[in-house]
Chain A
Amino acid sequence: MSSMIANTHEEHAHSHELPWPEQLKANRLGLWLFMLSEVFLFAALLVARFVLWNDPVLGVVRPELSQELGLITTTVLLLSSFFMNRAETAMGQNDQKRFLSGLLTTAVLGTAFFIGVVVMEWNIFGLQGELFGIELFGHLRPSDGVISGIFFAMTGMHALHVLSGIVFIMIVWNNGRRGLYTQEKHWGVEACAIYWHYVDVVWVFFYPALYLIGTAVHAM
């Protein structure tokens, strides 16, 4: 008896799920609203940066960071968006091989960016080294007052998004490898791509705010 009830419930459930075109419309709107919500998160961090990194004499300031390292990590992240776009386009053309390789390349470049920020710029392992005269590891410590506080907050919040993006890409890659996406129906791929591009665009605003704008100072 109870199993019969369960069965009818099951049938009901399927008949009452939204038709796919409508669900897709809802999914897209929901994701974009989430992205808009995150604009406020990153904007608040940017505002905090311009409030806190403001010296009465020097005006807008920024920490002394390795310009070369910043440029390299930024290039790597921008490049990854290109491969993400390539992967998504390949999915639309049913090119499974290029889709998977595009995703993997994106994930690798994303990981390189993550290492560039967390291991090298943050220097969590306290390393030292030089390559072609470029200082490889940063010198800011959490205890350096506001000059490091907002730096760690901005790069940390962004790195968290990069990390979750990499996890997202690997999940989509794994599901894609098993053939769960089709040319017509691949919302997971689309969502992953939008999210990754978004994280990339955030860095386009963060990079100049952290590395370029203002007078470089040691400490405040």
Chain B
Amino acid sequence: MGKLRIILTSAYVRGLIGQLVGTLLGIGFLEAIRGAMGLSPTGATFNLFGTEVAESSFVFGAIIGVIGFLSAAGVLTDWFKWMIGLKTPLNHGAPAGKPEWSRYLNVDVNHKVIGIQYGITSILVLLVGGIFAIIFRIELAQPGMQWLTNDQYNTLFSAHGIVMIASILLGVGAMTNYLVPLMIGASDMAFPRLNAFSYWVGVPSVVLILAGMAVGGWDTGWVGYAPLSLRAPLGVQLFLLGFWINGFSSIASAINVIVTTATMRAKGMTWFRMPIFVWAAVAASLIQFTATQTVGVALMMSIAERAIGLNFFSPVGGGNPILYQHLFWFYSHPVVYVFVLPGLGVISELLPVFTRKPLFGYKWIALSSLGIALVGFLVWAHHMFTAGMADSLRYLFMFTTMFVAIPTGVKFFSWVATLWEGKMSFETPMLFTLGAISVFLIGGISGPILGTVPTDLHLHDSYWVVGHFHATMFGGFIFPFFAALYYWYPKITGRMYKESLGRLHFWLMVPGFWVMSFGQMSLGIAGMRRRIADYEAGLGFEATHILVTMAALVIGWSVLIMVYNFISSARTQEKAATNPWRSRSPEWQIPSPAPEFNYDVPFEVVGDPYDYGLDESTYIQMAPAPAGD
């Protein structure tokens, strides 16, 4: 079969066609019913082929479209077969007559294939979100409106927020899916089909969010606060729906990770002998599979309030807009720990390898991940100090917010103690790990100022918040994610990336980020509001805004260098050694790329994972191969 034909018949193309057809069918179906009932188009109507379509039909169509995507891509096939009682064996490997790479374009149940699908989609979506940021960042470089309208600016910063969150969730999925089964010695995840579903349902959700920009956009930011969301253009519906659909992905994938870890660990691998990243993945999953439901309720209520006129949030009918914020932040605060915990897990995972020293306080790091997850559930209302909630709640949430510093501090001190007198080497993954620590420190220290009520009243909705949030996201996720990509690149591709380009990426991105972060924070102190398209000249913002814009451009270019490095190295670089980092972790003891079922012979855990530099300590023992094989 020709390349083009394989691409054109891939699950992505089939899915997108299915989504389009499903959407049109859904719209047509509900419009026909509405027509029969004699209802006129209501809500933010949409002109489709010359007829006005009601908002409720549009929403219904979008939901059917997602089902259309999943059906056409083939994600649901096995479950449909199961429904009518057919046997459904798991198929591994490329279908007959198709090349190996076609697996990555189709529904595949292998956790490594799914992990790579997650990873590539995550980087693509990251680039899209980054382009949005660059576009409105350039607009902000000078006072006055240069090349965007207010509406375009609003849509772009809103889309930047949610698209980046989608990208980070995909990145978390990439790391947990690829690494967890390898690290615990399992052949795959506990539910391979559900695993495929988790990835594939994320694709139409991103399509919905991007399509929202085309049907009017929206101006609510990624938080979608009511009652603004109830008055925004039609685009906000697709944003709310895309966000909601993405929740299915989070919940399914989180349950899969927890079950896999609980039931499929190798012989001898007790909970406190797991690689530390697995702890982080489990802690993040605990948040994901519970809290996601509450934001789902908030989003569904907003969708219903707009589309079918049920009243929850609009004060006009007796609704309560603060309720939306509570339901929203009950998820959206803990979810930043979903982003950050796997990132911090990567830092803890990589530091001992590059310092050749045991990880300091393994148990404390493992439990601090759970601690962060737990405390993360008790702090949500610190986002709402200025929203008009009860004064007594403010003190309570100020107190619990400060509490987060304790488990996070445990991690920081443990990292410093691990670095202490280590035999450090500075390959790209280590550089990004150290960069992550420095940037996360900025994010961490700028946080309590926002968690304290009196200072928050001044800094709320200012650029200080933007600086703080970007520092926590870059330090807690982006830098560790890049470290992980460089570190496991030889595992994934079997080839080594170009070290020189990796270092260039790092030395552009770290100073770039520091400038951007400090610039944003100083703008915030000076009084620059966030989410505002323009500012007056002569307030002293201009120079800093130009600096921040330039720093953003540098960061953007540096990420492109990484993408180029990964693409070109996969073709031109020489084969990597089996264990280039001299790691003790089980995934580095097998050939790269890892075989289809990971470990041909099972291993047994006989020691602690991070006893680097200790004489005669072993972590795992490969069982002897069965005779005659």
Contacts and interface: CB of A to CB of B under 8 A. Distances in A.
Interface of A: 2-3, 5-6, 9-10, 12-14, 16-18, 22-23, 25-26, 29-30, 33-34, 36-41, 43-45, 47-48, 51-52, 142-150, 152-153, 171, 174-175, 178, 180, 220
B93 interface: yes
B10 interface: no
B264 to A, nearest CB: 7
7 contacts: A9-B91, A26-B260, A41-B294, A52-B319, A142-B308, A147-B318, A153-B304
Nearest to A3: B96
A174 B83 CA distance: 9
Nearest to B186: A18
Interface stretch (B215-223, B309-317, B368-376, B498-506): B309-317
Contact of B293 (A10, A40, A147): A40
Nearest to A167: B83
B312 A48 contact: yes
A143 B309 contact: yes
Contacts, number: 140
Give the interface residue-count category, chain B: 35 or more
B255 A152 contact: no
B289 interface: yes
- Across the A-B interface, the 10 shortest Cβ-Cβ residue pairs: A145-B317, A40-B293, A41-B293, A44-B297, A149-B310, A9-B93, A26-B190, A6-B96, A149-B311, A146-B318
B583 interface: no
Contact of B312 (A34, A153, A171): A153
A37 B290 contact: yes
B623 to A, nearest CB: 16
Interface string B406-432: 000000000000000000000000000
A153 B310 contact: yes
B317 A48 contact: no
A43 B85 CA distance: 35
B85 A175 contact: yes
Given A34-B255, A153-B300, 17 more contacts: A5-B96, A6-B93, A17-B89, A26-B190, A26-B263, A37-B289, A37-B290, A38-B293, A40-B294, A44-B327, A52-B318, A143-B309, A145-B317, A146-B312, A149-B305, A153-B312, A180-B85
B90 interface: yes
B323 interface: yes
Given A14-B89, A146-B318, A29 B294 contact: no
B290 A40 contact: yes
A60 B581 CA distance: 63
A30 B309 contact: no
A6 B319 CA distance: 60
Given A16-B92, A41-B296, A45-B297, A145 B311 contact: yes
Contacts of B403: none
Contacts of B319: 52, 145-146, 149
A48 B301 contact: yes
Given A33-B258, A34-B255, A178-B85, A22 B92 contact: no
B195 to A, nearest CB: 12
A17 B251 CA distance: 23
A16 B188 contact: yes
B460 to A, nearest CB: 23
